[in-house]
Amino acid sequence: MRRSSNAALFWPVMILVTASDFITKKLALESLVPRATPHNVFGEWFRLALVRNPGAAFGLNVGIYSRYIFMGLTIVALVILARLYRSTRPGDASRVIALALVCGGAVGNLIDRVTSVDGVIDFIDVGISEITRWPTFNVADMAVSFGAFLLAWVLWEEDRELATDVSPVPVARESGEA
């Protein structure tokens, strides 16, 4: 059975990502106060600072309906990812892990969107100075980013394999004999 052989890897990874995201966000809410105040961990280049992001990646915001638009987009993405999962060959660990990472991260951020009008909880702040900082992110964002990169690589490799497996069909030549 295709799905059950991959399920032993997919579900633990997805649940681990979602649970890690949930727990770290809960800890951030409880301990990173006041909000948006940076707490240095490794100098100024790695800090923790509690912020809420009502938009999507990199602060992308589409107005007052961002919450509902991004909830809808997340659900559509999860449906597409479920179809990719169902089409995954048994034992294709790289693809299964990639899908589990993206799904776990998507579910983690979806939980925030459903449970709070304030948006997704972000708290990891990296950069060199106030000018060169990466947008604040969370465990779910890391899982989605890494999983999406891995999935793109896996799908690219699958396409390359398909392209090399297709052998050219010999074309019959007309003989020039008369």
Whole-number Å distance between alpha carbons of 154 and 66? 31
CB-based contacts of 98, cutoff 8 Å, min separation 6: 147, 148, 150, 151, 154
pTM: 0.85
Whole-number Å distance between alpha carbons of 10 and 134? 30
- Give percent helix, percent strand, percent coil of the chain, each to the nearest 5: 60, 10, 30
Radius of gyration of the chain (CA): 22
pLDDT tens string 120-143: 999 999 999 888 999 999 999 999
Query: Any catalytic annotation for residue 122?
Result: yes
Which residue among the candidates 122, 125, 159, 165 is catalytic per the annotation? 122
Domain boundaries, the chain: 2-33+41-160
pLDDT tens string 41-77: 998 899 999 999 887 766 666 667 788 889 999 999 9
Query: Any catalytic annotation for residue 118?
Result: no
| Contact (CB, 8 A) for 136 and 125 | yes
Which residue among the candidates 21, 112, 125, 141 is catalytic per the annotation? 141
